[in-house]
Amino acid sequence: MNNYNVLKEIILNNNSFILTTHVNPDADAIGSELALYLVLKQLNRKVHVINHSATPYNLEFLDEENVIQKFNFELHEKIFNETDVLIFVDLNRVNRVVKLEDCVKNFKGIKICIDHHQDPENFFDYIFGGTEYSATGEIIYDFIKETSIVNIDYKIAYQLYAAIMTDTGSFRYERTTPKLHKIVAELLETGVNPTEVYEKIYNQFNFERIKLLGKALNSIELDSSKKIAYMTITLQDQLFYNTTEDDIDGFVSYCLSIKGVLIGILFYEMNDGVKISFRSKGDINVNKLAEEFGGGGHINASGSRLYNVQLNEIKDKVIAAAQNYIKE
């Protein structure tokens, strides 16, 4: 059980905070960071939100006040040395902060993790959340409600709604519980407009993304069992369609929309390696599969980034490994 009063005490007893999240952040990462930022600012705390990645273009509207900074060692090392509390939001492995890793490892203050992924790394002084939560935004909501640290106003509710809506696949994934819908009802009561949030996140994509999606859909193959579908996006495709990694969010889910398919995989070639996304149905644990390749995540959604590997070589290995997860 979470004792959110411990987190409240840490916040009340310290002055300066750094919030950070994972590489290639999604709306749960950004919305949770910004909601927590708003809580801390209401309490007049000094807060820096520092991420490895720039905010994806379709999520920039969440950061209306330009609070999020892209990490720069020269600029931020001093801030890391002077800050009391570091909070990881929506991640539980240190390597997922990429360029911030050295500063994080050298951090002398209190290290907190607020997250809902599987198997947190043994690094943090305190961990809040758990895999029962649909989104990190839901954890932040529980924390605020249980401790009454502030009131959930429209601005905080807006961030939490964006976080929860996206991480539940617009309220359809497994952890979409009655409790979650009650939370969402309360967020909407502050005035959050669900149509507006959905439009901003999912209906403002670059034309290039949709063209790349066409190429990616065309690339889908099935393994011999026809239970694994995999999609491949090469560097050449990205150059041709002039896209970035922000443009591929959500593509892998099309693999699971094929009848009989239980595992979907996306291979995304990067300049220096390959990003792999795993999705699964039911109790097929792709978190374990991702772990075999140095990654992690959730039971039905996980990922990994491998550096200095060749696309075709790793594809064969990953598909062979995935076949072990398909039950007869």
* Stretch binding ligand 5GP (CB under 6 A), from 63-71, 130-138, 209-217, 295-303: 295-303
DSSP code string of 224-235: TTS-EEEEEE-H
Asked if 129 touches ligand 5GP (CB under 6 A), the answer is no
* Rounded Cα gap, residues 304 and 49, in angstroms: 24
Site string for Mn ion, 159-198 (x = CB under 5 A): --------x-------------------------------
Task: Identify residue 298 by its one-letter amino acid code.
Answer: H
Torsions phi, psi for 47 (to 5 deg): -135, 130
Asked if 269 touches Mn ion (CB under 5 A), the answer is no
* Rounded Cα gap, residues 22 and 70, in angstroms: 12
Task: Identify residue 155 by its one-letter amino acid code.
Answer: K
Asked if 33 touches Mn ion (CB under 5 A), the answer is no
* Stretch binding Mn ion (CB under 5 A), from 20-28, 48-56, 124-132, 178-186: 20-28
Asked if 90 touches Mn ion (CB under 5 A), the answer is yes
For residue 196, what are the contacts with CB-CB under 8 A and spacing of at least 6? none
Among 303, 314, 318, 325, binds ligand 5GP (CB under 6 A): 303
Q: Which is nearer to ligand 5GP, 40 or 263 (CB)?
A: 263
* Binding at 296: pick from Mn ion, ligand 5GP, none (beta carbon under 5-8 Å per type): ligand 5GP
**Residues in 101-160 at the binding interface with Mn ion, rule: CB under 5 A:** 136
Asked if 93 touches ligand 5GP (CB under 6 A), the answer is yes
Asked if 301 touches ligand 5GP (CB under 6 A), the answer is yes
As beta bridge partners, residue 221 has: 230
Asked if 302 touches ligand 5GP (CB under 6 A), the answer is yes
Which residue ranges make up the site for ligand 5GP (CB under 6 A)?
Answer: 22, 93, 96, 117, 277, 295-298, 301-305
